[in-house]
Each structure stands twice: as C-alpha cells, then as structure tokens.
Amino acid sequence: MRITNTPRPYAWGSTTAIADLLGTDPSGGPEAELWLGAHPGSPARIVEGAAEDDLAQWAAAHAPGGRLPFLLKVLAASAPLSLQAHPTTEQARAGFERENAAGVPLDDPARNYRDPYAKPELLVALSDPFRALCGFRPVAEARADLAALDDARLAPLLERLTDDVLPQVVAWLIARSPGVDAIIAALTEKAAAQGELPHRPDWLDTVARLSAHHPGDPGIAVSVLMRTVILRPGEALYLPAGNIHAYLDGLGLELMEASDNVLRGGLTPKHVDVPELMRVLDARPLPPPLLEPEHPRPGIAVYRPEGVPLSLTVMEAAALIEGVDARLDGPAIILCLDGAVTLGEHGEHGELRRGEAALVAEEQTLRIVGTGRIAIASS
C-alpha cells in the first residue's frame, strides 16, 4: 500500500534538505523529520491500498500485537538536536509502570516514559558530512585537550575528571552546579578565539556550534567529554540503549524501534531529569559506535545491528537495474530515494518514484527492478 506523510516542523530542521532529497516542494519552514511508520506521534497516511486512513489504524487492526515495531525517518538537521539517551526494554517497562502508578499523564512534559519499549537507533548518512556526538571519549584525551586551553576557570572540571568518576562529573555538569557556568563561558570563549584557525579541533568546533545555538547550556561542557563523529554518505552509526548522543547537522536515514522514551541531558528547553538520565546512561569511554554494512552483492548495503530487530537495506541502481529478489520476513517500508522502481515480477505491486513510499504488509520475496535508489526498513 502507498503511504506518505508531512515532515515534522521542529525548529532544528533544515528548510530544504528533505525536499531536495525527495523532489518535493519545500514548505518554507523547517522540515526536520519525515516519519514513515505507525507511531501515533505522526503515523504515515495511507494513499491507497487499504481501508484505514493511516498506518496506526492499519497496525491496530492487522499487525502482530497491534503495532508496527519499527519507525523509519528521513532526518534533516541544520542545528543540533538535544543531548539524549534511551533506556533498555527492562528500564522502559519499569519506568512506564512507575510513572503510571504515580498518575503522571502521558502528555505531561515532565514524563520520561511514554511507552514500555526500548528505542535503539541506527542512522545512515546521506549528506557529506553528517556530524554527531555519540558516547564518551577516553578521559585522558579530554583532560589533555582541556589542559591545553590553559584557563583557570576549567580547573574545577580538571580536578574532578578521572576515569572512575565520569558519571558523577557528567551529572555535576548537567545539573549546572556551582562553577559550571564559568566552565561553559571559558569553553565558549576559547572556541570563538580559535574560530579563524584553519585546523580547529573537531571537539572545539563542536563547542562553537553548540554555543551558537544553545548559549550557556550545560550540554556544551558535556560535549567536551564526548566523541565527535563525522560520517560520509553510506557510513552509519548504531546507538544502543544508554549511549548519550546528539545529532549536530546533516541529512540521514534513521531506523529505530517505535518508542518515545527519551532521557535528555541538555541542548534543549524540554524537561531534563538528571537522576533518571544517570540511571540509564552508559558512561564508559567506548570506540565510536560505527555500524559496518553487509554487501551481499554490488549495489546493496544491509545495515543490521547484532541482536536488535532492526534492518535497513539501501539498494542502488547497480543492483536494481538487473533486478533484486528482496526477501521480506514481515512488514517492511520501502522508500524511493531516486529514480523509479517497479515492485513485483510483472509490476503487479505498482511503481515507486523518487519521494514515494509503500508498506509491504505480508511476508514474501519481492522482485524489485529499476534505475534508482531505495531504502527498505524492517524489523
């Protein structure tokens, strides 16, 4: 069945990137995320092929468990998103039940858990570059960079910053404890002072970007402890539960479990619950969470995190022009990113052109032929 949606107008969204990618007319305002799924926050509308009006209604009537467990997004950021982490399934279930028992309304801005589901995410870059903060870098590396700035206002952070107390330092910064405002000011000034240098370090460039959009925010100081990751088209991140992250700018395809559970830590006017964030946070310094795709044949890249029910396949014209028999083990969403493709051995399932999407509801092997580029999302 054919589906469509209207991009979400979050303030951090690009005004042109989604329209340029999909060949649609820009709205004139920010277009941050195009949601393709059954999530009740913005369910995709059904254009043809079903009696229901949208995928939330369709999933309630036809999908196993009454829901579509994954959500595909086209994400276009021209400004940083909030600093955030997501819970495990166990944490989400416990938090959801706890807030229900406490009588916290689902639409309360201070609510942390709006459903009992985890929210792991993978993102494939479409733009060059796509920038993100994700996870913590080695403490010794962060200490060396801070010390090199030679600013007395950073001394309280340097004195606290050791491997065994990283979570406490993060909580101290996010809570805007005494001395933190001076640290933020020092970092902002140092980043601005180096703005004319041709090789400003990535971490200090991130400080400058965050300061421009969120002046005085504690997330600026937290970012110094984190990894700045720069992706090129086709490169991907996998963000498991507990990974603190913030997308900085760029265009990408994002696939996640369909959940609204976000614990924020800054770079936002929205609710920040420091104790709950620290409860779910994985504060270990780890390598960049890059996800390497599988390449079953030229022109096909399959992004599939181990042990997680998410799969995103990108097919290029090099494969599609010869035809691909795509094995779909359950509901899947196909988005045409460029050109056009026909679905079915004889085109019996219709055609998708650039910017068009479809839900394939039943398990099947689907013949796909064309000259464009598509993404297939499933769980």
What is the predicted pLDDT for the residue at 330?
87
| Single-letter amino acid code for the residue at 182 | A
Is there a single domain that holds both residue 6 and residue 148? no
In a domain, 317, yes or no: yes
Is there a single domain that holds both residue 149 and residue 127? no
Is there a single domain that holds both residue 19 and residue 87? yes
pLDDT at 109 over 90: yes
DSSP 228-275: EEEE-TT-EEEE-TT--EEEEEEEEEEEEES----EEEESSSS---HH
In a domain, 290, yes or no: no
pLDDT-based confidence at 252, cuts 50/70/90? Answer: very high
Is there a single domain that holds both residue 47 and residue 90? yes
176 is catalytic: no
Is there a single domain that holds both residue 110 and residue 209? no
In a domain, 41, yes or no: yes
Rounded to an integer, the average pLDDT of 53-76 is 95
Is there a single domain that holds both residue 120 and residue 257? yes
Is there a single domain that holds both residue 240 and residue 112? yes
DSSP tag of 44: P
Burial degree of 86 (CB within 10 A; 0-12, 13-18, 19+): buried
pLDDT tens string 160-190: 998 889 999 999 999 999 999 999 999 999 9
Rounded to an integer, the average pLDDT of 201-221 is 96
* CA 297/CA 307 separation, integer angstroms: 23
In a domain, 286, yes or no: no
For the full predicted model, state whether its pTM sits above 0.75. Answer: yes
* CA 295/CA 160 separation, integer angstroms: 45
Is there a single domain that holds both residue 17 and residue 107? yes
DSSP tag of 294: B
Domain-terminating residue out of 194, 220, 246: 220
- Residue 86, domain extent: 2-132+231-280
pLDDT tens string 315-327: 999 999 999 999 9
* Catalytic member of 111, 114, 209, 264: 264
What is the predicted pLDDT for the residue at 198?
63
Report the number of distinct structural domains present in the chain: 3
| Higher per-residue pLDDT: 298 or 52 | 298
Rounded to an integer, the average pLDDT of 351-373 is 95
CB neighbours of 49 closer than 8 A, spacing ≥ 6? Answer: 1, 2, 358
E-only strand ranges, the chain = 2-4, 33-37, 45-48, 70-77, 83-85, 121-125, 130-136, 226-231, 236-239, 245-257, 263-266, 300-303, 311-315, 324-328, 332-338, 340-343, 351-353, 357-360, 364-370, 373-378
The enclosing domain of 126 has a CATH number of 2.60.120.10
Provide the mean pLDDT of the chain. Answer: 95
Is there a single domain that holds both residue 109 and residue 250? yes
Rounded to an integer, the average pLDDT of 240-267 is 97
